[in-house]
Amino acid sequence: MPELTGTLTQLYTYPIKSCAGVAVSQALVTPNGLAFDRQWMIVDDQGEFQTQRHIPHLVWIEPEVQEQAQTLTISAPEMPTLTLPLVKADAPKLTVRVWADRLDALDMGQAAAKWLDDYLQVPGKHFRLVQFDRNHTRLSDGFWCGAQPAPVQFADGFALNILSEASLRHFNERRMEMGQEPVDARRFRPNLVIDGLGTHEEDLLHTMQFKGNGASLLLELVKPCPRCQIPDVNPDTAAREPEVSTLLARYRQMPAMDHAVCFAMNAVVRSQASVSLHVQDTFEGTYRFEG
């Protein structure tokens, strides 16, 4: 018998790192995570990755992957929609950095660079859009993942982020007690939102296994997710609302994580084959510790 069961209630991909998320009803899960998730990234002149930490209005860039047309489109307020090839076979390589990792990525070209410069308008800086090079392997931190390697694309450190409905609901109850409006899951940029758990019970999970259509998807939850200031950025207004981080800091500092403020869990894919995942799929879970 499984130790617990639950349901997938929301599913999000983030094709361009730190830009708007896309709510989907189904997605292909590969060993790298959700298909197209953080497959593209914006970098500056030095190849440094850019996020909402310093450019909040990145959240207004809306990417859309059209698999049938094999295109990526990007749009933003008062900007023309730009259509790019999903795979740019002749793309030159550009050395980029994601935190401590330096790797070669594929440059998406001058049209994308001009579009980003025209939209972002950061004095003294220029930007380029790059795509993850599938010929390159980037791995999550082995300290958390153990001996079995866990590939990841441009996500901060791990292929998936998992949040429970109960944890989000508890956070919003605290907000409303303070006279603040509730927020939705987009603030915390999860890939999977799950139901059937108690508040922050995802912290205790070791594995989640989805079974359906003859396929099995195994996820391992490996590390609590330390939070920066990105949840403070309102995805609708791009305004910073620091009371989000302030509230989290009051009750989510974890001693085992050097008192970092953590919310949701980072996870990696342990299935070798790609599996289709759908909202309302059910899973069986196991706990990290017995007893």
- What's the CATH code of the domain at 55? 2.40.33.20
Burial 14-31 (b: 16+ CB within 10 A, else e): bbbbbbbbbebeebebbb
pLDDT at 65: 97
Section 193-219 average pLDDT = 93
- pTM recorded for the entire structure: 0.95
| Domain region containing 193 | 4-287
**Residue-wise pLDDT tens digits, 209-265:** 998 766 899 999 999 999 999 999 999 999 999 999 999 999 999 999 999 999 999
Torsion sign, CA atoms 165, 159, 45, 64: negative
Q: Percent of the chain having pLDDT more than 70?
A: 98
Residues 6+ apart with CB under 8 A from 85: 70, 71, 72
What's the number of domains the chain is made of? 1
pLDDT at 291: 40
**Residue-wise pLDDT tens digits, 38-89:** 999 999 999 999 999 999 999 999 999 999 999 999 999 999 999 999 988 7
